[in-house]
Structure 1
Amino acid sequence: MNISSEAAEILEHVGGSSNVSALQHCSTRLRFTLADDRTVDESALKSIPGVLGVVRGPQTQVIVGGRVLEYYRAVEKLRSGSPTAAAAEKTRTPWTVKRVGSKVLDFVVSVFVPIIPAIAGAGIFKSLLVLAAALGWIDRETDSYALISAVPDAVFAFLPLLVAYTTAKKLDVNRPVALGTVALLLFPAFTALVTQEGGTALFGIPVPVVNYNSQVFPAILAVLLLWGTERFFTKFSWPPIRTFFVPLMCYLVVAPATVFLIGPLGFEIGDLFAGLLFNFHNTFGWIAVALLAAILPFLISVGMHKPLLPPTITTMATYGKESFYLTASLAHNISEAGASFAVALRTRNQGLRAIAVSAGFSALFGVTEPALYGVTLQNRRALIAVLAGAITSGAYLGITFVDTFAIVSPGLASISMFIDSLDPWNLIHALIGLVIGLVVSFVVGVVLWKDSDSGTLRVLGQAESQPLNAADDTVSLAIVAPMKGEVVELSSLEDGVFSSGVLGEGVAIRPADGRVVAPVTGTVTSMLDSRHAIGIRTDDGVEVLVHVGMDTVALDGAPFTTHVAQGDRVEAGQPVIDADLDAIRAAGLDTITPVVVVNSAGRDVRFTTGQHTERAAQLIELTTIKETANGTV
């Protein structure tokens, strides 16, 4: 089964296009906002090969792992082609508290999640710059420092514009008009008038003095008002003049309302949220950090950690730092890693060990979904280890008043977010807290773990209860190199989806030329329109993915020529794709090509890296062994 057909099944089992009010995705999950949650067939969803799990809550979340973007596009393609897709809102069930919560969460996710990469990158940029100054590599008093620091500072200064764009996209409002309206609040001439001595007034009405830099709620409220205004004038305006008349009326209505009412109100709301978060932490101190770290696994599992983003962003904008949610997240993330590594050490099941190792490294670098859904939530002993590590680490981080200075998922890769130019001990305490969480969760996990009490192994045992081969319990397969070049480890790739092992075990090839051949004999199960990747399933059910280059989906198939189509039967060594490597490099992309056994869990994958391989030479030796929960039969 390929992604397109699996997407069709996913859509069917959530109630069809007419039941989907909205769809978003994060790094591993499809997030459905449904008109009627009762139509979801959870057991049928879990039986789909590519689905790793299902979470019910304010949103119905279908966990598909690292290929989430491909699933998202496939589902959206099916929805856009359905005549009933637009009917979801019309056939919705009556408003309930749960449905209101679902709508609010959907709105928060749609507005804030898309801007996280921008503010995360800017935050880490700023922290590294502070580190460079602390080490004496650059002088803070120079123009060079000021110019470089302007890059991340600009992102936060114009944060209202980013929020205006994502809000307008969510509400389907004219994006340029939304940006133009909110830009007034940041316009230097407007700011100069408002902040001058004595302030300024419009027809005798004083304009409130508010600093809108880095604020998020004024932009959201302004675009909400713009949404209603635009709909009203679009409905009642004469079509021939609508192109300019509707934006004109929107400016005339929304701009004054934003200056005198919406903007100041949004500022007060943001200040209230930030103050509540700040005061809660100040009141309960380290206990609040420890408790939040302990409940984060449960909040994340149902997506309820997302509402913490707006006040966290506002707190960062108001105080320049945050010491509650992000600090607690460090304790939780690292504890997920420690517990996963403990499971990998103690389990005798190869499939669970492979899952736990890759999940542990993902969590170590700040991505916890593989650990949560693949290891800890399904195994109570591993979950206890996570809670032990999170509470102890969170308590230490809270007692030592550790602050964060960038909004990004905390982990080893983003540890610079704890650099404080005024307090070098902030980073040291963060590192100590990291070690505490890792060690405590690992030790508790090692002591508590029992394969016989593992929920994951029960699932794997059910999957493996059917013979893989009627004649023998062992199936061996030689996977040949699809390209000629140097063989390197997947972990060396910059793409976290491949390097973390979320998609499966394998290797990568730095190709010498662009000819791609089939790595195994089987059926082509995936050949996207972008032609940058091919998936092949053998007769024994082994699925192998060859992904030519990094991020090459963005090239829309231009550098690729395919020789086979989805559904075709291919032989190992048969040419399947020709890639123009020079064109890929010219586009600024890496040509390195992962070769991944997608369903490697429960299989012994052996390969050698650091050497040159010829095309069609043996690259991977794969052995599938039927196991029980106690080990190999």
Structure 2
Amino acid sequence: MTRQDEAKAILDGVGGSQNVAGLTHCSTRLRFTLVDDGKADLDTLKSLTGVISAVRSGSQTQVVIGNDVVNVYNAVEKERGGRGGAADAPAGPRKPLSWKRAGSVFMDFIVSVFTPLIPAIAGAGIFKSLLVGAGALGWLPTDSESYLLLSAIPDAVFAFLPLLVAYTTAKKLNVNRPLALGVVAVLMFANFTTLVNQEGGVALFGIPVQVVNYNSQVFPSILAVLALWPLERFFNKVSPGPIRVFFTPLMCYIIVAPLLILVLGPVGYWLGSLLTAAMIGLYNTLGWVAVAVLAAILPLIISVGMHKAFIPPTIATMAQNGRESFYLVASLAHNIAESGAMFAVAIRTKSTRLRSTAVSAGISALFGITEPAIYGVTLQNRKVLLSVMAGAFAGGAYLGLTFVTSFAVVGPGLASITMFVDAANPWNLVNAVIGALIALAVAFVLSIVFWNDATSPSLKGERDEAAAAAAAATAIASTNESTSSTDAPRGQAHAIRLVSPLTGTVVPLADVADPVFSGGVLGDGAAILPVSGSVRAPLAGTVTSLLDSKHAIGITSDEGVEVLVHVGIDTVKLAGAPFTVHVAQGDRVEAGQLVIEADLDAIRDAGYDLTTPVVVTNSDRFTVEVPAAGDITTGEPFATITEKELTGGTA
């Protein structure tokens, strides 16, 4: 599958380009805001190559990609014509406002405003920490011109943070971005700050202007753009076309800029100070316990996307104090604990698929990206989750007890460890490393001790499917063994044709998300992604296998061809609930006869892959020619089978 094929499949999974109202991405996830959430098919998205998982969090549909998210995002944007913004799709029917929906909208707004800021802030923070380290080691004297000039680069990012926030907020609200920057720029203007700070202060129309240092503040900008949002729309609507180009901005400046100076700016500053005080207060009150507990529960918080709520107060704290000792420190312990657990699972498991996932996720977590580990392994295995939580708690406790502090807003990990460099306290970095090693060691050892492939929930599907498929194959072989001498004349030198048992899309067997089928363990064939639940016999013969779970049927032809039709992946777990059978074991069936009816919606809603393998389980005796991928209708030719002994093969 090419990159563009992957992008098209993702867009199809969320209901098509026309259903996308907005698209952003974070470090591992595509974040879709959809016109109609009901059109997104999470099960289909989860089954796609390159997709780790898909979840619905609040007002967003999130597709977890992993480290390749930027490339996938670019491909999706290219596929949808580069449209990015709130007005990409029709608004659709307005949903009733509720507390739950209000909370979801608020979180979506916070994520959309602050997530795009992280690369700029993280890069500046790490740059600053490297400079501090170089100064502490004497490589670059802190009083040299070079040091001072280079320090101005990251310092400028934080000083002009209000403008960056104004841009991302305007983008989210679809407000004219240069206009938003122009309004907020007054807070950064040297003449304005000089006037406000002069002795005796300054007043606007007799109203005193509060003395506030707006450098590094985020909330005044957000409030300013929120005020611009309805005003710009109103004046664009009522102003005549010939004067709209200047009249709308003029009215926005006249109304919003003074409001920002007198009210919105001070209120935003107060809000930022309140959040900072709350974060510091929690840490000061509970100390190391707060860090340890937060580190331990971060897997659960991240799994629902609520960790983004920590970004605004963390940025505000860093901007105001130049350091942060709570969320980022706890994140270090959690990230490294995830890495340790993943490496332990990779060592212990015998599953090639799980080992590959664990190694990749472990490396990502080591560098500060934990979503692949959380969604791919941790949440699926209770013992791994508990091991991660224990390791994170232990590492977080040490970090809290030693008062480790971060000096950059970035995902803590191996590459960003310099974020803990403190020129005044060299032990800050040392203790950060020790705390990370404690988290890694505890999570690694516990995962090594408690991991067991035989009881792992994430491998239960492989075990059940292998057992069910093996039982079906054994039943077919057993019945065929007793009937082949009379019912399976092997001297006929003609091809046997299978017809499609389902209407849907043909999928190569190698693409089936089950190693038992994709690896050809049960035989050659192909799979069908069905659009209808009516399963019909692919050839004439005898029903030689029909399990109690009703999800699979085996039919043996008069020529001895053993065919297994397996409806869905892991569907043995459904215990037959969504299936209705119309035949019994031992019945004679004709090609095209209805044998099973499957409730596809129920299977999909239960979270299972609908892909249906159709395989010849004794393909060591037969050559199987399957059709190319594409749409197929029930009853159409599906495969051609010839006996190997008659074509020069080996039996």
TM-score by length of 1: 0.71
Moved more, 230-239 or 197-206: 197-206
State the partner residue of 2:334: 332
- Looking at structure 2, the residues matched to 204 and 188 of structure 1 have their Cα atoms a distance apart, in angstroms, of 22
SS at match of 1:150: helix
Opposite residue 29 of structure 1, the aligned amino acid is: R
Cα offsets for 1:112-144 (capped at 9, x unmatched)? 111111111111111111111111122222333
State the partner residue of 1:121: 123
State the partner residue of 2:47: 47
SS at match of 1:305: helix
Alpha-carbon offset, residue 57 of structure 1? 2.3
Alpha-carbon offset, residue 13 of structure 1? 4.0
CA contact (8 A) 2:341 2:443 kept: yes
Moved more, 456-465 or 219-228: 456-465
- Looking at structure 1, the residues matched to 460 and 2 of structure 2 have their Cα atoms a distance apart, in angstroms, of 26
**Out of 414, 424, 428, which is 2:426 matched to?**
424
State the partner residue of 1:63: 64
- Looking at structure 2, the residues matched to 86 and 154 of structure 1 have their Cα atoms a distance apart, in angstroms, of 34
State the partner residue of 2:569: none
Alpha-carbon offset, residue 232 of structure 1? 1.3
- Looking at structure 2, the residues matched to 46 and 138 of structure 1 have their Cα atoms a distance apart, in angstroms, of 50
State the partner residue of 1:560: none
Alpha-carbon offset, residue 16 of structure 1? 4.6
Alpha-carbon offset, residue 292 of structure 1? 0.8
State the partner residue of 1:465: 516
Opposite residue 464 of structure 1, the aligned amino acid is: P
State the partner residue of 2:457: 455
State the partner residue of 1:163: 165
Q: Residues 24-423 of structure 1: matches in 2 within 5 Å?
A: 24-58=24-58, 59-76=60-77, 88-423=90-425
Alpha-carbon offset, residue 146 of structure 1? 1.7
1:186/1:344 CA distance change after superposition, 3 Å: same
Moved more, 235-244 or 199-208: 199-208
SS at match of 2:516: coil
CA contact (8 A) 2:20 2:35 kept: yes
State the partner residue of 1:478: none
Opposite residue 339 of structure 2, the aligned amino acid is: A
Opposite residue 214 of structure 2, the aligned amino acid is: Y
- Looking at structure 1, the residues matched to 7 and 44 of structure 2 have their Cα atoms a distance apart, in angstroms, of 13
- Looking at structure 1, the residues matched to 71 and 103 of structure 2 have their Cα atoms a distance apart, in angstroms, of 28
CA contact (8 A) 2:28 2:369 kept: no
SS at match of 2:297: helix
Alpha-carbon offset, residue 70 of structure 1? 4.5
- Looking at structure 1, the residues matched to 8 and 418 of structure 2 have their Cα atoms a distance apart, in angstroms, of 43
- Looking at structure 2, the residues matched to 360 and 49 of structure 1 have their Cα atoms a distance apart, in angstroms, of 20
- Looking at structure 2, the residues matched to 354 and 14 of structure 1 have their Cα atoms a distance apart, in angstroms, of 27
Cα offsets for 1:324-347 (capped at 9, x unmatched)? 100000000000000011111111
Q: Residues 582-597 of structure 1: matches in 2 within 5 Å?
A: none
Alpha-carbon offset, residue 196 of structure 1? 1.1
Alpha-carbon offset, residue 465 of structure 1? 2.2
Instruction: Work out the number of aligned pairs and report it.
Output: 474
Opposite residue 54 of structure 1, the aligned amino acid is: A
1:105/1:453 CA distance change after superposition, 3 Å: same
- Looking at structure 2, the residues matched to 464 and 329 of structure 1 have their Cα atoms a distance apart, in angstroms, of 35
1:114/1:235 CA distance change after superposition, 3 Å: same
Identity of aligned residues (%): 61
- Looking at structure 2, the residues matched to 447 and 471 of structure 1 have their Cα atoms a distance apart, in angstroms, of 33
Opposite residue 42 of structure 1, the aligned amino acid is: L
Cα offsets for 1:36-83 (capped at 9, x unmatched)? 54454332332333332122321321223344344434544565699x
- Looking at structure 2, the residues matched to 144 and 20 of structure 1 have their Cα atoms a distance apart, in angstroms, of 48
Moved more, 49-58 or 226-235: 49-58
- Looking at structure 1, the residues matched to 82 and 268 of structure 2 have their Cα atoms a distance apart, in angstroms, of 39
Alpha-carbon offset, residue 411 of structure 1? 0.7
Cα offsets for 1:587-620 (capped at 9, x unmatched)? xxxxxxxxxxxxxxxxxxxxxxxxxxxxxxxxxx
1:92/1:50 CA distance change after superposition, 3 Å: farther
SS at match of 1:377: helix
CA contact (8 A) 2:35 2:89 kept: no
Cα offsets for 1:393-440 (capped at 9, x unmatched)? 111111111110000000111111111122222111111101100111
Alpha-carbon offset, residue 85 of structure 1? 7.9
Can you give the 5+ residue segments of structure 1 that lack an aligned partner in the other structure? 474-566, 569-633
Moved more, 305-314 or 281-290: 281-290
1:165/1:417 CA distance change after superposition, 3 Å: same
CA contact (8 A) 2:283 2:291 kept: yes
1:149/1:81 CA distance change after superposition, 3 Å: closer
- Looking at structure 2, the residues matched to 358 and 41 of structure 1 have their Cα atoms a distance apart, in angstroms, of 26
Opposite residue 65 of structure 1, the aligned amino acid is: G
State the partner residue of 1:534: none
Cα offsets for 1:163-183 (capped at 9, x unmatched)? 111111111111111111111
1:408/1:241 CA distance change after superposition, 3 Å: same
- Looking at structure 2, the residues matched to 132 and 270 of structure 1 have their Cα atoms a distance apart, in angstroms, of 32
Moved more, 11-20 or 289-298: 11-20
SS at match of 2:91: coil
CA contact (8 A) 2:336 2:436 kept: yes
Alpha-carbon offset, residue 93 of structure 1? 2.5
Q: Residues 550-589 of structure 1: matches in 2 within 5 Å?
A: none
Opposite residue 328 of structure 1, the aligned amino acid is: A
- Looking at structure 2, the residues matched to 121 and 135 of structure 1 have their Cα atoms a distance apart, in angstroms, of 21
Q: Which has the larger radius of gyration?
A: 2
CA contact (8 A) 1:29 1:65 kept: yes
SS at match of 2:306: coil
1:269/1:145 CA distance change after superposition, 3 Å: same
SS at match of 2:214: coil
CA contact (8 A) 1:55 1:301 kept: no
SS at match of 1:55: strand
- Looking at structure 2, the residues matched to 140 and 87 of structure 1 have their Cα atoms a distance apart, in angstroms, of 53
Opposite residue 63 of structure 1, the aligned amino acid is: V
SS at match of 1:149: helix
CA contact (8 A) 1:36 1:93 kept: no
